[in-house]
Amino acid sequence: MRLVLIGPPGAGKGTQAKVLSAKHNIPHVSTGDILRAKINDESSEIGKKAREYVENGKLVPDEVVVQMVEERIAEPDAAKGFILDGFPRNERQAVVLDEVLSDLNIGLDIVLYFKTSTKTIINRLSGRRSCPNCGAVYHVTNIPPKVEGKCDLCGADLIQRKDDKEDTIRKRIEVYEAETKPLLNYYSQKGLLREVSGDLNVDELSQVLEQLFLSLNVK
């Protein structure tokens, strides 16, 4: 199964990618997670370059992100499939992805578009809390941790992402509309696009996705 997840910030792409990754035993490749890990690593040159872009809701330069993804999908665990979350983010990245996959003699199975209302996006992003230690993601009301402010998995203090501030959220939505949304047309023309509702709760959406995979015979 080789999937791409597309949708606005806060649509729940990362949350579903984690569920799918565990269920289908394929890696979840999130460019946002990789960039945040590099930003937290003070010795990383990529992290130094990426910080200003990520914290201000702008796209990190294509060459940085493309190289990261190329390296990640060449790793052995990605041979049986992968879930790309947050990549590609513009047409240039999509074209390069096609070239990379074609060199490997493989292709994408589905591009899932998480169509999500603005009300949901704002609610999800303003309530998101993340674990800086293990990467688990919660929501203060939708998916609360067992103990307020603490990660269920490793006990670390949960944090709010720097780019989940109101003005940065607005910028991220603008960038999504201008740069990423045109990819819907790109993938629709290739017959790969499937739309699902990002407004559903986690279990409902997860069931919709499994039904979709069954109907398309994607394993």
- What residue ranges bind ligand AP5 (CB under 6 A)? 7, 9-15, 31-32, 35, 53-54, 57-60, 65, 86-87, 89, 93, 124, 127-128, 137-139, 142-143, 163, 172, 200-202, 205
CA distance 87 to 27: 14
Q: Supply 189's token pair.
A: 């023309």
Closest approach of ligand AP5 to the CB of residue 22, in Å: 14
In the 3-class helix/strand/coil scheme, how is 30-99 assigned residue by residue?
A: EHHHHHHHHHHCCCCHHHHHHHHHHHCCCCCCHHHHHHHHHHHHCCHHHCCCEEEECCCCCHHHHHHHHH
| 161: annotated active-site residue | yes
> Choosing from 2, 13, 51, 129, which is the catalytic residue?
13
| 172: annotated active-site residue | yes
Name the closest residue to ligand AP5 (Cβ): 32
> Sign of dihedral through CA atoms 17, 125, 131, 201?
negative
Residue 2 vs 172, nearer CB to ligand AP5 = 172
| 13: annotated active-site residue | yes
* φ and ψ at residue 139, rounded to 5 degrees: -135, 140
Residue 57 vs 81, nearer CB to ligand AP5 = 57
| 128: annotated active-site residue | yes
> Choosing from 38, 89, 124, 129, which is the catalytic residue?
89
- Measured in whole angstroms, the distance separating CA 75 from the mean position of its chain's CA atoms is 19
Closest approach of ligand AP5 to the CB of residue 187, in Å: 15
Closest approach of ligand AP5 to the CB of residue 12, in Å: 3
Residue length of the chain: 219
Q: What residues are annotated to the active site?
A: 13, 89, 128, 161, 172
